[in-house]
Structures are given as structure tokens and as C-alpha cells.
Amino acid sequence: MRAIWSGSISFGLVTIPVGLQTASRTEELKFRLLRSKDLSPVNYKRVAEVDGKEVPWAEIVKGYEYEKGKFVVLKDEDFKRVDLEATDTIDIVDFVHLDEINPVFFYKPYYLAPQKGGAGAYNLLRDVLAETNKAGISKVIIRTRQHLAAVKANGNLLVLELMRFADELVAPESIKIPAEKKTGPRELAMAKTLVDQMSEKWDPERYTDEYKSALMKLIDRKIESGGKALPASEHKSKRPTNVIDLAAVLQRSLQEAGKIKPGAKARAKKIPARRKAA
């Protein structure tokens, strides 16, 4: 796989030549916009606001609006003039225990592949990160943007996972939630039992995009029918219920979850009797 970025990892006086390779992919069904009467594809045009005329790519430049309606143009060479050191270096500034990092900060992984002469230091960094369960917090410039990132051990590889800066996250305090209602011991015990019954060993192959598969089947049916309307589906969406008796809902969930695993059954017997409502 071709590297999309080449540089090095740096921590202390150690420098490891690496290449950045894509670790994820998005496979979405692509749809074209069509005119309904003749199914002619509808294209987007780059149109200037001032006169409504289409603008060819050759005449388009990047501009920053510093005041309403006032712009300063930035060219490719301007981005290269930005005075930041180590534009080709993943500069590790701190090592942090992974358990201390809130997962909401992570958003996009890349594989780091060792380049010629870097295998020894690469393996050393991977092994020490794995044994200490730590990540190297770093900053890296990819294309025209600086990213916060974490260098992590992942099996035989090092992974660079891009992160959000703190000011890019919405403050949790801004989300309004109902006043806290104390959880009863019986509900808590039943919920733990339900979690036990539904627990499995992590296997990513168990989870697939069912919506995409169903949509492809529908598309095939539409093709076979010559584009005609299909019969209405009998599928009914689950409606949210107003949970009044949480213990009763949990009990039904336990019954539907199937067999109770060893240990979970014993804990279920120890569930205390429900207190009478005040």
C-alpha cells in the first residue's frame, strides 16, 4: 500500500522513519441526483455570487474572509511559509496512559509502517507502548493542517490515531439531562445480569452493515421490476415506551435474552425484593 505521508516519529533523541497508510475506509452507496421527468443526471456548478457565471477550476483560489465581504488570498507557497518546525515529523511530546484519555478525543486511525533502517527503533517503541499501555501524544502536520495525534501499539504495528483538540469538543455541561434518579439495588442487579447474558468476546466480524445490505437488495428488486414502485413494507419501527416499571422491563429483557450464563443465574437469585414505592 502506498504511503500518503512520509516522515519520522521523534521522541527524545530517537527518530524512526515511517510512512503513514490508511487504516480505515468508508464504503457508502453513492447516488446521483436526477431530473425526475427523464432521469437526466444533475451536475453541480461552481458559480460566482456576483454575476452567476460558472467559474473553471483554473480560476479558483483559496481565500480567508477576515471581514464581511473582504478576503485575503492564500496560495500553495503561502501554506509552505507557515513557520512551524517538523512538518514531516510526528513529534511525541508526552506519554500518557491510555485509560486516562476519553475515547471521544479519537476519530481517525492510520497505520505507521517502518521505513528502511527504522525497524529496530520501530519495534522498540511498539513493545514499550504495549507493555506500559501508554500512547505517545504528538502533533503532526498532514497536508495543510496540524493534528493532535496518539501513537499507539496495535498488535505488530504502530498506529497513529488523529485526535480532536480540546476546543473542538462540545462541553459535556452544555447537554441537558433530567434530574438524577437514584437507581434501586434490584434494578441494578437485574441490569448487571442482563449485561452478563448479552456479553460476548469481542469479534469485529460479528458486526456488519445490515442497512447497506438491505438497501442493495431493494435496489436489485427495483432493477428487476424495471423501476416500478415496490409493495409497502410490513416492517414496523420499534416505538419508544414510557418506562414506568423499570424492574418489569428488565425482567422481560432477561427472559428474551435467553439462557442465563453460569454465575449470572446465581446472582439473579440474590436480587433483593423490590422496595414498595413511597
Cβ(17)–Cβ(116) under 8 Å? yes
Residues of the chain above pLDDT 90, percent: 24
Q: Which pLDDT does position 276 carry in this prediction? A: 36
All 3 cell numbers of residue 49?
455570487
Question: What span, in angstroms and rounded, lies between the C-alpha atoms of 115 and 248?
Answer: 59
Q: What are phi and psi of 20, to 5 degrees?
A: -95, 125
pLDDT at 241: 53
**Per mean pLDDT, which of 26-35, 62-71, 72-81, 209-218 is the most reliable?**
62-71
- Distance between CA 213 and CA 234 in Å, rounded? 18
| Band of residue 78 on the pLDDT scale cut at 50, 70, 90 | confident
57: which residues sit within 8 A by CB, 6+ positions away? 46
Other Cβ atoms closer than 10 A to 165:
11
Domains present along the chain, CATH in parentheses: 5-26+82-167 (2.40.290.10), 182-200+244-278 (no CATH)
Q: In terms of C-beta density within 10 A (0-12 exposed, 13-18 middle, 19 or more buried), how is residue 123 classed?
A: middle
The C-alpha atoms of residue 19 and residue 14 are separated, in whole angstroms, by 16
* 160 Cβ contact partners less than 8 Å away, ≥ 6 residues apart: 20, 90, 109, 110, 111, 112, 138, 140, 149, 150, 151, 152
Cβ(24)–Cβ(106) below 8 Å = no
- Alpha-carbon torsion angle 272, 273, 274, 275, nearest 10: -100
CA distance linking residue 218 with residue 240, whole number of Å: 27
Q: Which pTM does this prediction carry?
A: 0.66
Average pLDDT, the chain: 80
